[in-house]
Amino acid sequence: MKRYFLLMSVLVLAACGGGSGGGGAGGGTIARSAVSQDAIASNKDITQMSSEILVASGSEPITRSAKTTYNGKTYTSYRLDDVKFFTAENLNEDDPSKNSFLRLELDRSGQINAIHMDVGGESSGRTVRSTEDSTLFEGPIFEYVKNGNDEAIYRVVDNGQTWDNLVSLAQSNHLTGGHWNRIDERLVVKTYGDDIDGASTKLRYADFGYFNPVYRFKSKNITAEVLGHIRDYETALKNGDTDTANTIKTTYLSRENLDSYRSDSEFAAELAKEDYQLFAGGYAIKTDGTKVDTLTPGNNTSFSGKAVGRVYSSIKAEGEGRTTYLDKYGVKYKTTNPGDAGYPEPENAGHGISKAYFTTNATLAIDSEGNQLLTMPFSDDGFYDVTVEKNVGSDAHITFDSATKPGVDGAVGSMYRRDADLSTAPGGTNTKTVESFNPGYYGIDDPTEAAGTLRYKEVTDFGAGNKREWEFQAAYGMTKD
């Protein structure tokens, strides 16, 4: 992305209110300064998208890198905090028709300083950008989790709430049948729009990639007493009283928390795991000033670019029979063989197995009737070729094919393959539970970029409470051919 230059040092842009930032239709007119050069440079560490896009009524869109006059015209300013990065896994259970999304937050200079998840119109779990690692977001949060389930249904930043505050929060949001966890979370964000065609083309209006949330310290099922100890611990650290802080942690927190503090090496190992959550999104703006989630592409058009995919599998089986399933899927575990000493115990093996794949040859074609065909040849990287067909008026259909290239079948490890493609699979009843495709088209009126996500999940039930989950997510970013 080219560096912007100021139209004029005293130029103040008129931006319509709306959204979390400033761009978009509706609301009153507010004034804000141009995005600073330092902010633009800093934002590149997160995304290569334009930090700001200006649209003048009746004119072509402009960015800070373009020359323009401004007298007599009102420019609408769209910034990175106007962009929705839709997640491949929709966390909006109350209204599945509306996707959950990540949204960046900016400071007064236009620099990214935080990120949060939006679920059902509610901001959930804001994390602040690290001052040490510009690609990392961090911060303590509370999450409300249903009893017997690890998935959070509500998240909120820890701003020093008391236990009574949390009780009131649960009541006002109708949260019942669960408990509060407190997590000191780190969120790594990686985008791939910086080099689309293998040369110099960068996505300007859109981006795609993954976020990887990892906690540093996690308190499960906290009580008023535990929260009190946490607050005392934080106060001691703030006052520089490390002796008292260590006493509180050793005496109380280590016993009352099911998950202990992760050391630097343990934390780095968790961050290195490829259990990514994928997203994609961008600027979709009409020249009349309307900001939408996606533009409508023309028929007989095509896009090409890159894609990232992530496969996840997990085996649930108890007792001595667990090793039978681990063997079927080629999962390594510790045995009496001295050579297996580095592997986990059987009860800890086969959970949350994940791996990422990449391709630089992804394509998206739209025919004369508006039908969409997405092709992601992950066989380039030792996985399936993934194809999505989305015909007008029909649901998307996702297929996985590894037979297009010789030898690829054998290259896809048993841990990462679908049950239908494994001769060693232990049978059972296979059920598809999720098949979703969320294409997006971005630019000004006529989309010049495409970015989107897909998700596919199936569960094989072996009976007697034993099962295997297999999930695939992908995100892509492309430019118009």
The residues near 437 (Cβ < 8 Å, ≥ 6 apart) are 374, 388, 390, 396, 398, 452, 453, 454
Span 285-300, pLDDT tens digits: 987 778 899 999 999 9
Distances in whole angstroms, Cα of residue 444 to Cα of each of 62, 69, 104, 344: 10, 19, 21, 52
pLDDT at 200: 66
Percentages (nearest 5) of helix, strand, coil residues in the chain = 20, 40, 40
pLDDT at 460: 94
Q: Which two tokens stand for residue 356?
A: 């990422």
Q: HSE on the CB side for 158, CA within 13 Å?
A: 21
Span 389-416, pLDDT tens digits: 999 999 999 999 865 554 444 557 788 9
How many CB atoms sit inside 10 A of residue 224's CB?
11
The dihedrals phi and psi of 282, each to the nearest 5 degrees, come to 170, -170
| DSSP label at residue 253 | I
- Say what percent of the chain tops pLDDT 70: 83
- DSSP assignment string, 142-155: EEEEETT---EEEE
Q: What is the C-alpha to C-alpha distance for residues 330 and 431, in angstroms, rounded to an integer?
A: 22
Position 7 pLDDT exceeds 50: no
Pick 9 or 70 by higher pLDDT. Answer: 70
Judged by average pLDDT, the poorest of 24-28, 287-291, 429-433 is 24-28
Pick 260 or 242 by higher pLDDT. Answer: 242
For residues 87, 96, 439, 370, the Cα torsion angle rounded to the nearest 10 degrees is: 180
pLDDT at 2: 19
What is the residue whose two structure tokens read 């569960």?
Answer: 459
In contact, 252 and 229? CB cutoff 8 Å: yes
Judged by average pLDDT, the poorest of 85-89, 127-131, 255-259 is 255-259
Pick 365 or 253 by higher pLDDT. Answer: 365
What is the residue whose two structure tokens read 């007064």?
Answer: 108
DSSP helix/strand/coil, 198: coil
Q: What confidence tier does 259 reach under pLDDT thresholds 50, 70, 90?
A: low
Average pLDDT over residues 274-295: 91
The dihedrals phi and psi of 286, each to the nearest 5 degrees, come to -95, 150
How many CB atoms sit inside 10 A of residue 122's CB?
14
Distances in whole angstroms, Cα of residue 242 to Cα of each of 227, 237, 249, 432, 464: 19, 6, 10, 52, 51
pLDDT at 472: 97
Bridging pattern class, strands 136-146 and 178-191: antiparallel
Judged by average pLDDT, the poorest of 117-121, 250-254, 457-461 is 250-254
pLDDT at 339: 80
What is the residue whose two structure tokens read 């695939």?
Answer: 472
What is the residue whose two structure tokens read 């088209």?
Answer: 441
Q: What confidence tier does 57 reach under pLDDT thresholds 50, 70, 90?
A: low
In contact, 182 and 216? CB cutoff 8 Å: no
The residues near 45 (Cβ < 8 Å, ≥ 6 apart) are 134, 135
In contact, 471 and 459? CB cutoff 8 Å: no
Q: What confidence tier does 258 reach under pLDDT thresholds 50, 70, 90?
A: very low
Q: What is the C-alpha to C-alpha distance for residues 340 and 343, in angstroms, rounded to an integer?
A: 6
Span 188-218, pLDDT tens digits: 899 999 887 765 678 999 999 999 888 777 7
Q: Which two tokens stand for residue 398?
A: 């996702």
Q: What is the C-alpha to C-alpha distance for residues 211 and 185, in angstroms, rounded to an integer?
A: 12
What are 294-298's contacts with CB under 8 Å, separation 24+? 294/439, 294/440, 294/441, 294/442, 295/441, 295/442, 295/443, 295/445, 295/446, 295/447, 296/441, 296/447, 297/366, 297/441, 297/447, 297/450, 298/366, 298/446
The dihedrals phi and psi of 170, each to the nearest 5 degrees, come to -65, -40
pLDDT averaged over every residue in the chain? 82
Span 315-357, pLDDT tens digits: 999 877 899 999 989 899 999 888 888 889 999 899 989 999 9
